[in-house]
Structure 1
Amino acid sequence: MLVAPDESDVAEVRVRRRGRTTLLIATAAVLGLVAGTCAGFLVQADREPTALPPLSQPVLAQAKGEGPEPLSAAQDRKVKTDGDLRKLLLKRPKGAKDAESGVDTWLNMADYADRLLRSDEMFDDLAGDEFRRAVATGWDVGSTYTVQIRLVQYRQEENLAAQQRTGDWNVDDTTSWSIPGTGDGMAYVSMKPDIEPGYLPLYRAEAHAWRGDIAMEIWVYDSRPIPKSKIMDLAERQMERL
């Protein structure tokens, strides 16, 4: 007597058959991939090797001539500023006398600090600013007109000290103008004189600018008001030498 199979048995048989079929298809795919790869290697092995391009590049024809000339000492600013800074100072005009402070003089850090207000504090500041060296010059015209110029060079390994020092000057009670060609360089002229009993009135003008690692400082003193043209002319001519 035949007995109808249970529905669960039929489902189990169908699942097993489907799983077996999937496995056979996957196996065949893998075998086909392997066979194709092997065939590819065999075909490639029978071919002649493809020559690689040469590593060397074609030699390019060089332009005739000896190349650009090296910069002269006058054109190479590094040569100028690493040499004798005194040669970059403005020269004393004809008819002027040497200033008491000296002409074309080297200043070490202590010498330079002594010429500034609050010398002790400035000495510490200069050490932090990587002071390298400084030079000074000056001249007198008549009995009241005096010019003082200083060039101060910094090492600038940590910061742009020359630029920062130029911006540190706070000049009160003055009229100011930008110095052409210097970026943030400024010239100042006092409108009111310093007056002390027993002395002539003292007017002053100043100019501060920088280029590279050198800060420029100019002071002009006179018993009469100093015109803008005077301090601007000195500042522009000194900066041209840097």
Structure 2
Amino acid sequence: MPEVAPIVDPGTTPDAPSAPGRRRRGRTTLLIATAAVLGLVAGTCAGYLVQADREPTRLPSLSQPVVAQAKGPGPEPLSAAQDHRVKTNGDLRKLLISRPKGTKVPDWAPEQDGWLDMAAYAHALKDSDRAFGRLAEAEFRRGAGVSWNMGSTGNTQIRLVQYRQEENLSAADRASDWYVYRSSGEWSLPGASDGMVYLFKPERKAGYLPLYKAQATASRGDIAMEIWIYDSKPIPKSKIMDLAKRQLERL
């Protein structure tokens, strides 16, 4: 009889012979994964059942015991001698030394009633427009000053400039930022690590009296101190040094 070919379903293909040494792992892997999932689900359900049979654990109370306040007036606030900000956050004008008796307030004094705002302070400096911008960058907070004329040619100016110092140590920067030109002598000011006192060579111009100048700078905390003395005759070192020491002691 002639051989009859096997009938093959059109949607399938005959199985190919397995390659030597290889095993069909698809069904075995699927069975293992399914068993693992079922085991995980069974374990979770068992955990819930065990927990449901237990007594609930009591949580700590949210309310805390009330602590009785200690009797008595409490600690005394720090004095101005102990807390620097007690002085510096008050009336800045009270930290200025008093104007000597017998002296007069110059008409051109930049301070108004002792206060010195940023615009007035910048206007008293060279290149006021640029100085205004630099003061804003340095976090100018407020200023105070006192000025007086002594005799017909003498003049003294003292300024205390306070900075916020949120970004920079502007007071110390200001005290050490002065460009000293034509100095004839300079000395450290006791009581301040950055304190300096300067005497300058006289400025001479035909038809005018010579102009002598002395300067002192220092910082204490967030305040920069600046002192100038002008006169038509030489200014003793002791005069500017004594004035600077007395003003620094008040800060």
TM over 0.5: yes
1:164 and 2:173 are equivalent in the alignment:
yes
Partners of 2:76 and 2:118 lie apart in 1 by 38
1:87 and 2:94 are equivalent in the alignment:
yes
- SS of residue matched to 1:149: strand
Q: Which one of the candidate residues 182, 185, 190 is aligned to 1:173?
A: 182
Shift of 1:107: 1.6
Partners of 1:101 and 1:187 lie apart in 2 by 25
Extract unaligned runs of 5+ from structure 2: 1-69
Shift of 1:70: 2.4
1:213 and 2:213 are equivalent in the alignment:
no
Match of 1:128 in 2: 137
Partners of 2:148 and 2:209 lie apart in 1 by 19
- SS of residue matched to 1:219: strand
Structure 1 residues 177-196: aligned runs within 5 Å: 177-190=187-200, 192-196=201-205
Residues 176-227 of structure 1: CA distance to partner in whole angstroms, max 9, x if unpaired? 000001011100001x211123221100000010000000000000111111
Residues 85-109 of structure 1: CA distance to partner in whole angstroms, max 9, x if unpaired? 1111110112222233446521211
Extract unaligned runs of 5+ from structure 1: 1-61
Shift of 1:66: 6.8
Shift of 1:71: 2.1
Partners of 1:72 and 1:158 lie apart in 2 by 28
Shift of 1:120: 0.9
Partners of 2:99 and 2:117 lie apart in 1 by 22
The answer to which structure has the higher helix fraction is 1
Report the TM-score, using the length of structure 2 for normalisation. Answer: 0.67
1:229 and 2:238 are equivalent in the alignment:
yes
Residues 24-68 of structure 1: CA distance to partner in whole angstroms, max 9, x if unpaired? xxxxxxxxxxxxxxxxxxxxxxxxxxxxxxxxxxxxxx9xx9775
Partners of 1:214 and 1:198 lie apart in 2 by 40
Partners of 2:241 and 2:115 lie apart in 1 by 25
1:70 and 2:77 are equivalent in the alignment:
yes
CA contact (8 A) 1:101 1:138 kept: no
Match of 1:137 in 2: 146
Please, what is the CA RMSD of the aligned residues? 2.0
Aligned residues: 179
CA contact (8 A) 1:201 1:223 kept: yes
The percentage of aligned residue pairs carrying the same residue is 63
